[in-house]
Structure 1
Amino acid sequence: MCLRVVIVDDHARFRAQATELLRLERFAVVGDADTGRGGIEVSRRLAPDLVLLDVGLPDASGFDLVPAMHATGAAVVLTSSRASRDYGHRVEESGAEGFISKAELTGEAIRSLLR
């Protein structure tokens, strides 16, 4: 299964590392953005299967962007350098398919959330 992914994160280094990691694990990273607004635009244009969405963006909270990303037809996995427990019930309440901390990002972790 080759999922088409858009990465939305304000740190260029993380976007580059995540892109490389996911490509090695047979994902097709088709685009990226460094803001929430840019992420929505890219996702509308490219219609990815999945958006890997940072919780803390300069112009919006990733939690608040989940419905807009879902409207593009994409599944959403939230990510942060913090642990999921730091956000309490916000991940579940956002409607995202799940959460993976940046330190634990793997293709298998993503696939397990989408099963």
Structure 2
Amino acid sequence: MMPTLLIVDDHDSFRSWARRVLTDDGFEVVGEAADGAAAIDAVAQLHPEVTLLDIVLPDMTGFEVASSVHRETIVVLTSSRSSDDVDPDLVAAVSAGFVEKADLSGTALLGVVARDVG
């Protein structure tokens, strides 16, 4: 069974696209959030197994959100930036890993969370 998922991104178009792609790949998307505060609330209310979390949000960074919720959900950070532009130590401190938005698929997401789901 595929894990439940929360998608956090400030762009409606990306959230819609990610929902379609990840639902088609078997994920159950239980919610969406457009900023950090809404993400923290959604994790507390929806209890997603996995949270796909954009690094750049309007009210706080994805790293700040991840540090608040990473004990309650498996966090996978995402960005349109290259993984070369993201500090791997910071990613590892608050999340299961990182997936570039251009590379997002159910397979890529599962590859990051596989060791933590189950």
- With the shorter chain as reference, the TM-score category is over 0.9
Alignment length, in residue pairs? 113
Aligned AA (2:55): V
Report the Cα offset of residue 63 of structure 1.
1.1
Return the alpha-carbon distance in structure 1 between the equivalents of residues 43 and 62 of structure 2: 14
Structure 1 residues 38-80: Cα deviation after superposition (integer angstroms, max 9, x where no partner): 0010110000000000000000010121122224x21000000
Aligned AA (1:46): L
Is the 2:7–2:33 Cα contact (8 Å) retained in structure 1? yes
The residue number in structure 1 matching 2:68 is: 68
The residue number in structure 1 matching 2:96 is: 97
Structure 1 residues 80-104: Cα deviation after superposition (integer angstroms, max 9, x where no partner): 00011101333223x2000000000
The residue number in structure 2 matching 1:51 is: 51
The residue number in structure 1 matching 2:13 is: 13
In structure 1, the gaps of 5 or more residues are: none
Is the 1:51–1:69 Cα contact (8 Å) retained in structure 2? no
Is the 2:40–2:69 Cα contact (8 Å) retained in structure 1? yes
The answer to whether the aligner puts 1:108 opposite 2:107 as a matched pair is yes
Return the alpha-carbon distance in structure 2 between the equivalents of residues 38 and 59 of structure 1: 10
- RMSD of Structure 2 on Structure 1 (CA): 1.0
The residue number in structure 1 matching 2:41 is: 41
Aligned AA (1:79): T
Is the 1:55–1:63 Cα contact (8 Å) retained in structure 2? yes
Runs of 4+ in 1 over 3 A off after TM superposition: none
Query: What is the percentage of aligned positions where both structures have the same residue?
Result: 40
Is the 2:39–2:65 Cα contact (8 Å) retained in structure 1? no
Query: TM-score normalised to the size of structure 1?
Result: 0.93
The residue number in structure 2 matching 1:30 is: 30
Return the alpha-carbon distance in structure 1 between the equivalents of residues 28 and 45 of structure 2: 16
Query: TM-score normalised to the size of structure 2?
Result: 0.91
Is the 1:31–1:42 Cα contact (8 Å) retained in structure 2? yes
Report the Cα offset of residue 2 of structure 1.
1.7
